[in-house]
Amino acid sequence: MNQTNAAPPAGPPEDAEPGLIDTVPGEDAAAAESRHDEDDRLKPEYVSAVREAVEQGDRDRARELVSPLHPADIADLIELTPAEERADIIAALGDLVGAEVLSELNEYVRDDLIEALEPQQVADLASELDTDDAVAIIEDMEEADQQAVLDAMEPEDRAAIESALAYPEESAGRLMQRDLIAVPPHMNVGQVIDYLRDGQRLTTDFWEIFVVDEAHHPIGTCQLSWVLTCPRSIPIADVMKREQTLIPVDMDQEEVALRFQKYALISAAVVDAEGRLVGMITVDDILHIVQEEAGEDILRLSGAGDGDINEPILESYKGRVRWLLSNLVTALVASTIIGIFEGTIEKMVALATLMPIVAGVGGNAGSQTMAVTVRALATNQITASNRWRTVLREIRVALLNGSTVACVLGIGVAIVFGNIVLGGVIAAAMMANIVTAGLAGASIPLIFDRFDADPAVASSIFVTMVTDSMGFLAFLGLATAAGLTG
Amino acid sequence: MNQTNAAPPAGPPEDAEPGLIDTVPGEDAAAAESRHDEDDRLKPEYVSAVREAVEQGDRDRARELVSPLHPADIADLIELTPAEERADIIAALGDLVGAEVLSELNEYVRDDLIEALEPQQVADLASELDTDDAVAIIEDMEEADQQAVLDAMEPEDRAAIESALAYPEESAGRLMQRDLIAVPPHMNVGQVIDYLRDGQRLTTDFWEIFVVDEAHHPIGTCQLSWVLTCPRSIPIADVMKREQTLIPVDMDQEEVALRFQKYALISAAVVDAEGRLVGMITVDDILHIVQEEAGEDILRLSGAGDGDINEPILESYKGRVRWLLSNLVTALVASTIIGIFEGTIEKMVALATLMPIVAGVGGNAGSQTMAVTVRALATNQITASNRWRTVLREIRVALLNGSTVACVLGIGVAIVFGNIVLGGVIAAAMMANIVTAGLAGASIPLIFDRFDADPAVASSIFVTMVTDSMGFLAFLGLATAAGLTG
């Protein structure tokens, strides 16, 4: 049997974890409805009931309430409980809070809880999990604590985790499981099925079988449905598909997620630098990453750091204040530009009243273009082939937006202030600023991307600086040039 | 055989579509590398080479270049080609642009191409696809065109698509496939395998087998790996897991995606109002939705509409200008507040120079809090149980941010302007505005959510209005009250 890095196959699933639970067997639908709202979130009354039982020391009642829950829901329950009550609730629930719940928990909440555990307890929990989930629990610990946990583990589990930790953070090597089924091409379907039935267990779910050559290079892949629908006598080499997506072990998780999405993968083989099969990534771990990575852009564009509501307050503060201070600097640039025109403003204070409109609406136009560009970059929709076409497209949209907003604003100002020149000046400035915003909003993220910097991280500071400065400069400059205050 | 809504099972996969292609068999790695960059995007030189071949009428060369590509990559190639060349390239590629490519295409690009096709051509393409992909192609057509396509289809395909179209847009009913394997509980593993091997074909990939009772209510589910690892004699009722996530057919796709993620599903049964099994949703279709929904928030928060770079310019204009005009109205509110203090500004023009700083940095702080809150709401992290705790948390972060920024700004202004009172006034105003921003940024999305409105759609207009108005009011008001200009 040619099977490296492959644990024995799984047996029958009597001990499989419940996958989920709309109603628990033997329980009526009403009981389930008393827990979840229509969006599948735990109802506040239910959370309160559990908290109350724990507070009153009624452990049995708490366990009775919580026992029908899926591990993901128990994790939600813990997250929805105020931080200071979490230790009590976990103590009351006992073995209901197992390794699976831990791996579903928000990482900040989990790190908090893990700090309170002994290394041996963490080691025991981690060894119940797939390698990738165990790594996720251990990777954020302080190095000394991490070492203590590793020391407390069985040598085999420990080796698997240590080798995963040797790969860079957020790489395929951290995401992959080592348990997989790999067979040589000369087996036939019947032999593969017999091998799978052999009574040993693969600790993880699997969706495809990898076919490898003698050097453990993947040469094909076989969905389980193909194995099931083929006669026993057919060689696996005739069933397998030769083309498959191979994930290099050092590939960044964002890139891995994009491949899963592009090629509609359920699982994929991970290969080392020599092209040998070293692990498998499954789509259930990818869903979290797609969600995270797609959601990250919004947080980065606004400088909200990790942006997790469970993040310790001091960390949120550190992440966000840096951004606000950077924005303070760019605001000073805009302020300096206004300062140049103090004389003009002194003569016509109405300009001070109107100038934030030009800067503000321009800033909004810049945000729109920037959001579109950052998303398109994140989903690999923009390459060198259509980069300038995209900028041109945004400028054309900006010309249309600018004309409309400039007309409305110009006419309005001319009427309210009874001053046609002022109306013309603000319309021209608005037009100029929206077009500038379109150009900056599209090209600044592209420039960051071109130099391999994350376009979401710093673009908005620069775009805001451009639209603020341009807004004040165009409006006050044109007002001065038009002799409005002369 | 108790099997409704279930097509015959799949046969061996000789005709399965290639799942992907790092290298095509018989081709060296260098050839693949000449097409894709390290991020798996098509290289601009490759795209240019294809465009050139098409332009020169060298159809064979174009086909030779494109034939090793996966359908998803052919779709990318078409998207990366300027709109005016797309018809030519598709004509040149002929049958390489099949139904699968069409279903991978960006919807705007696809709708453009489909308009140029005859109803019979669209019908032929759609009938090659799974129901969910066929529906995606047809659902956006004008009603008359849609009817023409449906009329041109085989009755069976037509019925499947019509019944999918009867469900609301973006609901589970539109996403599901009707082809699935459903078996009665009295079969044993061997009978199930024999049934699957029966030589008929299921046109779609499948990952689990549903067990249904006589009324077609799902009573359990069975992963293929369990079937494969169990002895033939075991009844399927002993292999299946009774707990399973059932997706109501009218559930919104965002909610479906959250369930897949929460419970790490690969596929799930879809049931009608009577609880009967009517279809199956697989995770490969969910990945796109997670990506879309998570990415949508950033576009909605900035009012960028659909925010697709392939959207027709006029549609982008319509979507965005509405937002800019709304922002114009809120900017007028801020402008009116400044107007109240014209007398103060007249006496001390420096105030006009400084006031955008207070409003701008406050706006940034508001965006941060809003982004965090909108993401937490979208991922079901906030419920009534922790709503106010979250607002309180954001206010605490705001107090820290506010103190820091206010100190830096206040001291700076006091020194530069040699005016301690002015420094104190701007520091107090900055502090007040950042705390207001924290309160508004957290509570406005929560209020929208509370009333079942999408918190991403309108929050930022209101938050900006609050931070702008508060910024100007606090700064100019305090300056007046402090007698700075008196």
Q: CA A457: distance to chain centroid?
A: 14
- Asked whether the beta carbons of residue A381 and residue B283 sit closer than 8 angstroms, the reply is no
Average pLDDT over residues B451-469: 91
What was the pLDDT predicted at B38?
81
Q: Which residues of A touch B308 (CB under 8 A)?
A: 372, 376
- Asked whether the beta carbons of residue A361 and residue B324 sit closer than 8 angstroms, the reply is yes
Task: Measure A405 CA to nearest chain B CA, in Å.
Answer: 7
Q: Does pLDDT of A242 surpass 70?
A: yes
User: CATH assignment of A13-166?
Assistant: 1.25.60.10
The Cα B338–Cα B342 span in angstroms is 7
A284 vs B266, B352, B365: nearest CB: B266
Instruction: Give residue-wise pLDDT tens across range A445-479.
Output: 999 999 988 898 889 999 999 999 999 999 999 99
Candidates A36, A225, A369, partner chain B, best to mutate (most B CBs within 10 A): A225
Task: Measure A409 CA to nearest chain B CA, in Å.
Answer: 8
The pLDDT confidence band at residue B27, using thresholds 50, 70 and 90, is low
B295 vs A294, A357, A369: nearest CB: A294
- Asked whether the beta carbons of residue A302 and residue B364 sit closer than 8 angstroms, the reply is yes
Round the average pLDDT of chain B to a whole number and report it: 88
> Can you tell me the ipTM of this complex?
0.87
Question: From A36, which residue of chain B is nearest by alpha-carbon distance?
Answer: B383
Burial of residue B128 (CB within 10 Å: 0-12, 13-18, 19+) is middle
Q: Does pLDDT of B18 surpass 60?
A: no
Tokens of A47: 């959370």
- A71 touches A101 (CB < 8 A): yes
- Asked whether the beta carbons of residue B349 and residue A370 sit closer than 8 angstroms, the reply is no
Task: Measure B444 CA to nearest chain A CA, in Å.
Answer: 16
What was the pLDDT predicted at B358?
96
User: CATH assignment of B313-481?
Assistant: 1.10.357.20
What was the pLDDT predicted at B465?
93
Instruction: Give residue-wise pLDDT tens across range A422-453.
Output: 999 999 999 999 999 999 999 999 999 999 88
What was the pLDDT predicted at A27?
55
A383 vs B44, B239, B359: nearest CB: B44
Average pLDDT over residues B383-407: 95
Q: Which residues of A touch B339 (CB under 8 A)?
A: 353
The Cα A258–Cα A281 span in angstroms is 13
Average pLDDT over residues A399-406: 97
Q: Does pLDDT of B227 surpass 70?
A: yes
Q: Which residues of A touch B437 (CB under 8 A)?
A: none
Q: Which helix (H) or strand (E) holds A112?
A: helix A107-115
Instruction: Give residue-wise pLDDT tens across range A31-48.
Output: 777 899 888 899 999 999
User: CATH assignment of A182-299?
Assistant: 3.10.580.10
Average pLDDT over residues A204-222: 91
Question: From A399, which residue of chain B is nearest by alpha-carbon distance?
Answer: B317
**In this structure, what DSSP letter does residue A333 have?**
H
B284 vs A264, A320, A381: nearest CB: A264
Q: Which residues of A touch B406 (CB under 8 A)?
A: none
A72 vs B193, B262, B371: nearest CB: B262
- Asked whether the beta carbons of residue B309 and residue A238 sit closer than 8 angstroms, the reply is no
What was the pLDDT predicted at A26?
46
Instruction: Give residue-wise pLDDT tens across range B132-163.
Output: 888 888 888 888 888 999 999 999 889 989 98
A243 vs B21, B72, B244: nearest CB: B21
Q: Which residues of A touch B288 (CB under 8 A)?
A: 261
Candidates A281, A298, A383, partner chain B, best to mutate (most B CBs within 10 A): A298
- B409 touches B357 (CB < 8 A): yes
What was the pLDDT predicted at A297?
86
Using the Cα atoms of residue B224, residue B226, residue B228 and residue B230 in order, give the sign of their dihedral.
negative
The pLDDT confidence band at residue A199, using thresholds 50, 70 and 90, is low
Q: Which residues of A touch B76 (CB under 8 A)?
A: 380
What was the pLDDT predicted at B8?
35
CA angle A21, A26, A31 (to 5 degrees): 65
Superfamily of B14-163 according to CATH: MgtE N-terminal domain-like (1.25.60.10)
Per-domain residue ranges for chain B?
Answer: 14-163, 182-285, 313-481
Q: Which residues of A touch B361 (CB under 8 A)?
A: 324, 327-328, 331
A19 vs B42, B244, B313: nearest CB: B244
- Asked whether the beta carbons of residue A72 and residue B263 sit closer than 8 angstroms, the reply is yes
Average pLDDT over residues A193-204: 74
Round the average pLDDT of chain A to a whole number and report it: 88
Which of B195 and A200 is assigned the larger pLDDT?
A: B195
CATH assignment of B182-285, among 1.10.3720.10, 3.30.360.10, 3.40.50.800, 3.10.580.10: 3.10.580.10
CA angle B363, B364, B368 (to 5 degrees): 120
What was the pLDDT predicted at A10?
37
Question: From B27, which residue of chain A is nearest by alpha-carbon distance?
Answer: A243
Average pLDDT over residues A110-137: 87
- Asked whether the beta carbons of residue A221 and residue B352 sit closer than 8 angstroms, the reply is no
What was the pLDDT predicted at B295?
83
Instruction: Give residue-wise pLDDT tens across range B346-378.
Output: 999 999 999 999 999 999 999 999 999 999 998
Instruction: Give residue-wise pLDDT tens across range B58-101.
Output: 999 999 999 999 999 999 999 999 999 999 999 999 889 988 89
What was the pLDDT predicted at A39?
81
Q: Which residues of B touch A265 (CB under 8 A)?
A: 19-20, 284
What was the pLDDT predicted at B28?
54
Task: Measure B156 CA to nearest chain A CA, in Å.
Answer: 24
What was the pLDDT predicted at B200?
65
A295 vs B229, B238, B294: nearest CB: B294
